[in-house]
Amino acid sequence: MSGLDSLIHKVDVLRLNLEVQVLYNKNLECFKKYLPPVYECFSTYVPQELTVKLDQQGNLNICNIQNGSFVYSEAPFSFSEKQYALYKKKPLTRSIFFEGSHAKIHERYLHTNYMKKLLENYSDIKSKEELVKESLPESIRFMVVMGIGSGHHLLQLIKHHDIRNLCLYDPHLDALFNSMHMVDWEPILEYFDREGYSLELCIGEPGHDCMKRLGEFFQRNGIFNIARVYLYKHYNSEDISQLEYLLKNEMSNLSVGIGFYDDERISLSHTVSNYLQNLPIARVSLSQRKQFAGCPCVIIGNGPSLDLCEDFLIKNKDNLVIISSGTSLQTLEKMGLKPDIHIEQERPHITFEWLKKYQDGDYLKDITFIGLNTVYPKLSSLFKESYIISKPNDIGTDWLVSRMEQIEGNTLALADFCNPTVTNAAASIALTLGFNELYLAGVDLGMVDFDKHHASKSAYFHLMKDLGNRYRKEPELKDKGNFRDEVYTTMVLQTSRIIFENMFDKWKPNVYNLNDGAFIRGAKPAHASELPLIEQKEEKSQVLKEQLGKVFSLKQMRPIESKNEAYKIFFDLKNICDHFVRVFNTEVKSVSDVMDVLNKAFKSLQSVREQSISYRLLSGSINYALVVISSVVLHLKEGRDVGKIYANMADNICGFLQLVPKDFETNFYKVSGEEVDFLPPNFLE
């Protein structure tokens, strides 16, 4: 290169650097206007791994700081244009269908009968073979773009398509910083800054964290958006591959657990029935107040390691409070042990039938019972004394809050971290009672052998003889072992472990994991056979009496004086149901029209959140209906009449909504279809 050429090159580089800096400053101001947190992050940001630099062809490219290699083999704009053209012809999608999801829900439920009629419309949708041949449509409800790169592909997407909701993911903060030097972000930010559009940035975090953010997005913008999601992968990386896997295999989990009307109504009825029995309610958390118990406790699960802990429990039964949970009660009885506290969290009547067989003897008469507010109301009659603790994010808990006198310091304690297993609930309640030293026995959360899935004296080996084979047929999952490298686990047990870890992270108790199961972060591995005799610091019966007295009370709670309590909710519920009938009774001619109705219905649902009881009663069933309708109309076969199909589905939903108020009024004071027998005299007259 001659001296003149070198000078010209330097001038070009200086001019380009100036242009790049001007673009970056302009983008910073745009983010300051539209997304201030991004501006705060990048106003003084220094790239760590990737930076912007001219490549050998004179293209502004992204360069690896450590080894000097470039990300793009050609001009970034050209690469992105070609990639978009290929993707447009054969896009990657993830579709969600609820077909068959009601097989195990009782036929007598309103929700079941009406929503099953919706599922009949799946006969009008395209086959999987037809769906994979489709090109990228002009209108897209939801898209996940994995990888920012230069950002040119984002401009291509919003130029040629109407994308209502976009989640943009990149595991590197450098990626967004570099793109701000390469493309103008103003049209992108302006595009999504309007009614009915949204942009979710998940930058600089692992793929599983982005998945959590997606769950939060659907809660804010409508779970019905999950029906068909377009996945655009700009480049490959370990984190992006992880997110891609989660999107393909676990997206449907985001729609699990949304509940349904009958389930919520029964939970509320159980709460009201338990309240009418004047059962004391948990009002404070002693762990939060740091009023710790004077002796340790042991949480009893029904896992296979309970066998290994039997001698430890027998030797220390007088020195620590024993808290059984669920079916472990029967196993303890066979061991000749009796718990001080028994925990239940499930609401079905079968729990009562199972425990009732102990009623003829004296086994339950010395045991304290603590249940979630939603448990079957007659359980309390079986035990020495009974208490109730409120379940988080629950319709019954909302109702209990409405019964509280509005006095400063009047509080309600929640059983945080109580799902998915009853051992989670037991540990949560132990912490509420102020126990700061916990032993976990039979809380395996995993198994070494599929055929040894529960304690050997457990009823599971008699009632569910094929359980081991059922576990074998599930996708193989493994977790780090407590005493060995790894153990088999399941999705539920894995979730339970994570909840335990979150619980222990929050409260920092001293926890000993005595199980040959999964390792639990925050719990010290300890072999029961090697532990010394626990020193008795205080008499456990006195400790338990004191802690229960501090936590549970009915003070400053308003009583139910008449059946009019149900009527107040009934009138609110009827008005809301009538409103939704009007929303769904909208004439439509296109898929876009249908999606607008669904969006209106979702916003209407959000608008009644403050009427918490009615909202919770309807939220699950309406969200379910929105997802089914969305999944049908977004996948319809060619030539199908959208308006006619939607009208048929809307008729089903409206029929359901018109029956809900009367069903609620009729069953508010009923449990399993029968009026409870502990109502005050003349209460229903």
pLDDT digits (tens, 9 = 90+) for 402-415: 899 988 889 999 99
Quick one: average pLDDT of 33-40? 93
Three-class HEC string of 485-527: CEEEECHHHHHHHHHHHHHHHHHCCEEEECCCCECCCCCEECC
**448: which DSSP letter?**
S
pLDDT tens figures, 259-310 = 889 999 999 999 999 999 999 999 999 999 999 999 999 999 999 999 999 9
**Triad 469, 474, 479: Cα angle to 5°:** 105
Q: Would you say 326 and 459 are in contact if contact means Cβ atoms under 8 Å apart?
A: no
Residue 4 in this model has a pLDDT that exceeds 50: no
Q: Cβ–Cβ contacts within 10 Å for residue 40, how many?
A: 12
Q: Which pairing describes strands 341-344 and 368-372: parallel, antiparallel, or unpaired?
A: parallel
Please write down the HEC assignment for all residues of 562-584: CCHHHHHHHHHHHHHHHHHHHHH
CB 61 within 8 A of CB 52: yes
pTM: 0.81
Comparing 13-27, 155-169, 312-326, 548-562, which segment has the lowest mean pLDDT?
A: 13-27
Distance CA 562, CA 128 (A): 56
Among 16-20, 73-77, 580-584, the range with the most confident prediction by mean pLDDT is: 580-584
State the Cα–Cα distance between residues 311 and 78, nearest whole angstrom. Answer: 71
Q: Please give the pLDDT value at position 143.
A: 94
What is the structure's pLDDT at 672?
Answer: 62
pLDDT band at 103 (very low <50, low <70, confident <90, very high): very low
Tell me what pLDDT residue 192 has: 95
Query: Which strands, in side-by-side order, build the sheet including 162-170?
Result: 92-95, 228-233, 139-146, 162-170, 198-203
Residue 557, CB half-sphere, CA atoms under 13 Å: how many?
21
β-strand 321-325 against 228-233: which pairing, if any? unpaired
Average pLDDT over every residue of 134-159: 92
Mean pLDDT throughout 592-619?
91
Alpha carbons 633 and 648: distance in angstroms, whole number: 12
Residue scoring higher pLDDT (104 or 544): 544
Confidence band for 577, pLDDT divided at 50, 70 and 90: very high
Is residue 181's pLDDT more than 80? Answer: yes
**Under 8 Å between Cβ of 299 and 439:** yes
pLDDT of 309 reads 95
Top pLDDT among 1 and 157 is at 157
Q: Which pLDDT value is given to residue 605?
A: 93
Share of the chain above pLDDT 90, in %: 57
Residue 465: which pLDDT band, with cuts at 50, 70 and 90? low
pLDDT band at residue 472, thresholds of 50, 70 and 90? low
Share of the chain above pLDDT 70, in %: 88
Contact 590, 577 (CB under 8 A): no
Residue-level pLDDT at 473 = 58
Which of 160, 118, 235, 142 lies closest to 197, judged by CA?
142
The Cα 664–Cα 554 span in angstroms is 27
Q: Are strands 524-525 and 552-553 parallel, antiparallel or unpaired?
A: unpaired
Of 408, 411, 357, 409, nearest in space to 389 by CA: 411
pLDDT at 14: 57
pLDDT range class, residue 683, cuts 50, 70, 90 = very low
The pLDDT value given to residue 135:
86
Residue 640's pLDDT band (boundaries 50, 70, 90)? confident
CB 521 within 8 A of CB 501: yes
What's the one-letter identity of residue 466?
D
Nearest CA-CA partner of 232 in 88, 135, 130: 88
Q: What is the residue whose two structure tokens read 């979730």?
A: 495
Question: What average pLDDT score do residues 425-434 get?
Answer: 98
Q: Do residues 319 and 287 make contact, with C-beta atoms less than 8 angstroms apart?
A: no
Distance in angstroms (rounded) separating the CA atoms of residues 615 and 611:
6
Predicted pLDDT at 477 = 79
Reply yes or no on whether the pLDDT at 46 is more than 80: yes
Q: How many CA atoms lie within 13 A of 267 on its CB side?
A: 24
Contacts of 270 (CB under 8 A, 6+ apart): 347, 373, 374, 375, 376, 377, 396, 671
CA-CA distance, 494 to 471, in Å (whole number)? 14
Average pLDDT of 614-636? 90
Least confident of 38-52, 239-253, 643-657: 239-253
Whether 37 has a pLDDT exceeding 90, the answer reads yes
pLDDT the model gives residue 216: 83
Q: What is the mean pLDDT of residues 225-252?
A: 84
Residue 124 reports pLDDT greater than 80: no
Is a pLDDT exceeding 90 seen at residue 435?
Answer: yes
Residue 463, pLDDT above cutoff 90: no
Q: Residues of 276-301 as b/e, b for ≥16 C-beta within 10 angstroms?
A: beebbbbbbbbbeeebbbbbbbbbbb
Q: Which residues of 52-78 are buried (b: 16+ CB within 10 A; e: fewer)?
A: bebbeeebbbbbeeeeeebbbeebbbe
The whole-chain average pLDDT of the chain stands at: 87
pLDDT in tens, 132-144: 668 889 989 899 9
- Give me the pLDDT at residue 13, please: 57
| pLDDT level of residue 3 (50, 70, 90 thresholds) | low
Q: How many whole angstroms separate alpha carbon 112 and alpha carbon 118?
A: 10
